[in-house]
Amino acid sequence: MTAYFIRRLILVIPTFIGITIMVFTITRFVPGGPIERIIAETRAMQMGEQGGRSKARAGQGQPLSDDQIKKLEAYYGFDKPVLQSYGIWLLKVLKGDLGRSTRYQDPVWDMVKARIPISLYFGVLSMVVIYGVCIPLGMAKAVRHNSGFDNITSAVIFTGYAIPGWVAGVIMLVIFASRMDLVPLGGLASDYFADMTLWEKIKDVAWHTLMPLLSYVIGAFTVMTLLMKNTLMDNLAADYVRTAIAKGLSFKQAIFRHALRNSLIPIATSFGNNISILLMGSFLIEKVFNIDGMGLLGYESILDRDYPVVMGILVISSLLFMVGNILSDVCVAIVDPRVRFK
């Protein structure tokens, strides 16, 4: 299997180049880039300086000369062919330079680095809650199939699945924060956070985390729980489990010694893919709760046509996704010793 994983790692390189060159090319032809934004801002400034008498004339004219536009194109690299510009950008990325934001003029890596802890915090908590709840709940539902417990929990998780996370966040904010004043309206800390003791800071962060975390995980319980339930039920009906029980193992021992491990195989295949979700998060939930994470940064950079930030986030997310796919294969090989990749 070592040769297989080496080949998978080597394939990361052409896949990464294919993803980034496609998005890089799209950013060159999408209207509304940094030059267009500078032209619009310059026109607005001229209109403000000239007053209302010349608004119509100012709106029709070109505020920048051809030489100024050519200098801007050279500054942003738009004066070169796409492939040449991509090669220059890729060399900078290989050196650890993700560029500089065209909107805020800050280094892209500094902008991303400031938001990674927040997204990682919610991502890790979400995975712990999802796997920590869904696996035991799926096992309980499989053992008690068609019981009242099974039907009630199915109704609850399907209701959560039907409600988008950001909608659930808005509903919780209106009810519990605005009307009942039980939880904060948003953010990750109170205004007087710096004056708190260590224990008070922990409680404050946990209190601010509660509703965003629920919004993140509310829709993820259904698929994982039902996947665990259905695979465990299939394994419990298999011959090897019946044979184990016939040889004297109790039903509980048959589940934990034999059926559970085989039932975790479908769960393991999706584990690695969740790595990219750890950092990317959901921009809608971050917008609702005023959380300055990676998802919101990516969303705002697309709206602002801040292409260096867009490409920087793409570099991180694509690498995480490809490494996550390899990690999924590793998890499957660990859970199922019968698997041999060639």
Together in a domain, 121 and 261: yes
Distance CA 94, CA 309 (A): 16
Together in a domain, 57 and 191: no
Together in a domain, 178 and 120: yes
Together in a domain, 282 and 320: yes
192 found inside a domain: yes
* Burial 101-132, CB ≥16 within 10 A → b, else e: bbbeeebbeebbeebeebbebbbebbbebbbe
Together in a domain, 78 and 156: no
Together in a domain, 84 and 116: no
- CA distances (Å), 329 to each of 21, 172, 259, 336, in order? 27, 38, 20, 10
13 found inside a domain: no
Distance CA 45, CA 180 (A): 46
Query: % helix / strand / coil in the chain, to the nearest 5?
Result: 75, 0, 25
What is the DSSP track for 107-142? BHHHHHHHHHHHHHHHHHHHHHHHHHHHHHHHHHHH
Distance CA 337, CA 1 (A): 12
In CATH, what number is assigned to the domain containing residue 194?
Answer: 1.10.3720.10
- pTM score above 0.85: no
5 found inside a domain: no
Together in a domain, 75 and 130: no
Start-to-end CA distance of the chain, whole Å, equals 6
225 found inside a domain: yes
pLDDT reported for residue 341: 59
Together in a domain, 328 and 234: yes
pLDDT reported for residue 58: 43
2 found inside a domain: no
Give how many domains the chain has, as a whole number.
2
Enumerate residue ranges in the chain where pLDDT < 70: 1, 48-62, 272-273, 276-281, 336-342
Report which DSSP code applies to 53: G
Distance CA 18, CA 24 (A): 10
Instruction: Give the other-Cβ count within 10 Å of 237's Cβ.
Output: 10
Together in a domain, 157 and 192: yes
Together in a domain, 113 and 91: no
Helix axes 108-143, 221-236, angle to 10 degrees: 40
Closest of 211, 160, 161 to residue 183, by C-alpha? 211
Closest of 88, 228, 102 to residue 157, by C-alpha? 228
Together in a domain, 79 and 132: no
Q: Could you list the residue range(s) of the whole structural domain that residue 182 is in? A: 108-335
3 found inside a domain: no
Distance CA 295, CA 215 (A): 14
Residue range 13-46, pLDDT digits in tens: 899 899 889 888 888 877 777 777 777 777 777 7
**What 3-state DSSP class applies to 104?**
coil
Together in a domain, 83 and 166: no
pLDDT reported for residue 56: 44
201 found inside a domain: yes
* Burial 137-154, CB ≥16 within 10 A → b, else e: bbbbbbbeeeeeebeebe
Give the contacts of 276 (CB within 8 A, at least 6 positions apart): 317, 320, 321, 324
Closest of 123, 124, 65, 96 to residue 295, by C-alpha? 123
Residue range 178-194, pLDDT digits in tens: 888 787 777 777 777 77
Long-range CB pairs of 77-86 (<8 Å, 24+ gap) are: 78/28, 78/33, 78/35, 82/24, 82/25, 82/28, 85/24, 85/28, 86/20, 86/21, 86/24, 86/25
